[in-house]
Amino acid sequence: QKQLVESGGGFMKPGSSLRLSCAASGFRVEDSAIGWFRQAPGQEREGIACISNNDGPATTYYARFVKGRFTISRDNAKNTVYLQIDTLKPDDTAVYYCVREELCSVWGGNYFLDLRPDDVWGQGTQVTVSS
């Protein structure tokens, strides 16, 4: 059974950094496209980043709004994907999810969230940014 478990969220101060983890089981992350998205209360889901399942070095894609504050990476040995978030802002407050996708959806070089029926995501991890 394919599963993803997110962790690493918490209560953070503005300007600080955080690394979220997405541990996979039942499949290999290197064989899959893994994305991160978030959902704030009362808001739509928002795609953040995706790391593709190429042979060789992984290709990463980011949503247009990211502007360098988010970095997605993968550790094949740990079967885990990470999302580093720097210079946290109150607007980053949301539940963060990782998702196993068929492929990274990209338009104009930017990642966008396009969930499909067979996609798998975890329970999410809450990130709250407040002074």
User: How does pLDDT run across 89-123, given as a tens digit for each residue?
Assistant: 999 999 999 999 988 999 999 999 999 988 999 99
Question: What pLDDT band is residue 58 in, cutting at 50, 70 and 90?
Answer: confident
| pLDDT confidence of residue 56 | 64
The whole-angstrom separation of Cα 27 and Cα 95 is 24
Q: Say yes or no to pLDDT of 33 above 80.
A: yes
Task: Please give the torsion angle defined by the CA atoms of residues 51, 36, 102 and 27, in that order, rounded to the nearest 10 degrees.
Answer: 80
pLDDT digit string (tens) for 43-54? Answer: 999 999 999 986
How far lies 84's CA from each of 20, 32, 48, 118, in Å?
6, 19, 11, 26
Token match 């399942």: residue? 53
